[in-house]
Amino acid sequence: MPIATVNPTTGITLLTFDELDADGIELALAEAARTAASYRRTTFAERSALLVRAADLLEAEAEDIARTMTIEMGKPLAAARAEALKCVKAMRWYADRAESLLADERPADGDVADAGAAAVRVSYRPIGVVLAVMPWNFPLWQVVRFAAPALMAGNVGLLKHSSNVPQTALYLGDLFERAGFPRGCFQTLLIGSAAVEAVLRDPRVAAATLTGSEPAGRAVASVAGDEVKKTVLELGGSDPYIVMPSADVARAARTAVTARVQNNGQSCIAAKRFIVHTDVYDEFARLFTAGMAALTVGDPMLASTDVGPLATEAGRADVEELVEDAVRQGATVLCGGGRPSGLPNGWFYEPTVLADVTPAMRIDLEETFGPVATLYRVGSLDEAVERANHTPFGLSSNVWTRDEAELERFARDLEAGGVFVNGMTASHPALPFGGVKRSGYGRELSGHGIREFCNITTVWRAADPR
């Protein structure tokens, strides 16, 4: 895949970029290693001041980088603007809290009384150079939610971004440098996927984090495992959205529309499988389908647009194949189901609702990365849990119920990294983010996220023998 900005609204290639050659990669690795050796000794106060400066710059430039994101991957401009400001929030959150999140821990005296030590503490020390392999769907947020905690922990970063968002990738490297971070603290590598293995195998790279597809995660984890290097993986999702009889069905249906088509439907944590109790199924299906059908598809630069184009032509083809396979095997199209009329250019797809989905259909188990929802009718809580867990993924989940016993049952039994009740899944700097099963492992954000790339060090001092 060439490294290029291709506007998904028009299909026109706007800019192309040369891939970094072997000499350029070596220079970047050498600089990262040199910087890591000194940057690890900076204080939290020094790092915080730099990160706040980066946040200030990003806030001032939010409109410009939002337009760049929309041009490169097609999200509505308002969503791109919100993404930039969310990054500002995360930067300031970690700048304010990293020191306390990584403060030394001292076991209670009674717990280590037999350890033979005068004093024991556990310290969180930086691990070094971390390679981040990031996707195009949230091209700023996915990077910042790694970079902010990693830099505050004293690590340095190398970014291999998706090849279709090179301008956003270069902006990120430039942002941290302009904020005053030491040269080499955060570098963007314009490289293709084929070059990732060599970078990850380099002994100067200590660990890797990847957000992306399951195949990409398998590839990075395999190389990292062979090199015995730490990884954090956030992969695909096919999140369930469960509606029980006690729910506010009208509100659940309105929220469901946003939960499905956020980011043009291209979000790992977007609700994708709508599992509805038979007592409220007909009402929910009617309201949800009407809401999906009423969305405006079009130019993402226009304020009137709800859903822009899919990011790539190949991505739209994948969505089309999944819908066509389901329809051939008996799925009912309640709305959408194809390319919208009147938009001859670009990679648009209609908001779509499918009912009568069966396990024989690919869409039942595969992640759909576009504005397509599948509806399931269930007769009990047990059936809802079984249907929700009937997926290889386990990123997040949504549950609508006013019954406390049901809530606790879902919280206990849903196989997911998050359970969001009477609302839609969202990421926040204070909340750990990640999944189970084929959605990956490890956590981003919160205190859990900043500790992922730390050397958790036991410091033991012997008692004085006198």
Residue 330 in tokens: 């008996």
β pairing state of 129-133 and 156-160: parallel
| Residues 6+ away with beta carbon under 8 Å from 27 | none
Residue 64 in tokens: 């410009």
Angle formed at CA 96 by CA 90 and CA 97, multiple of 5 degrees = 90
Q: What is the DSSP letter of 95?
A: H
CA distance 5 to 53: 28
Q: Which of 87, 268, 335, 454 is catalytic?
A: 268
Q: Is residue 268 annotated as a catalytic residue, yes or no?
A: yes
| CB 186, CB 157: distance < 8 Å | yes
CA 438 → CA 225, 270, 363, 394, distances in Å? 17, 16, 16, 7
Q: Which of 72, 83, 185, 234 is catalytic?
A: 234
* DSSP secondary structure of 405-420: HHHHHHHHH--SS--E
Q: Is residue 320 annotated as a catalytic residue, yes or no?
A: no
Query: What backbone phi and psi angles, to 5 degrees, belong to 231?
Result: -135, 150
Neighbouring C-alpha atoms within 13 Å toward the C-beta of 189: 31
CA distance 370 to 264: 6
* DSSP secondary structure of 265-314: G--TTSEEEEEEEHHHHHHHHHHHHHHHHTPPBS-TTSTT-SB---S-HH
* DSSP secondary structure of 320-342: HHHHHHHHHTT-EEEE--SPPTT
For tokens 């919100």, the residue is: 82
Q: Residue 220: helix, strand or coil by DSSP? A: helix
CA distance 390 to 396: 14
The DSSP element (H or E) to which 241 belongs, if any, is strand 239-243
Catalytic annotation, residues: 234, 268
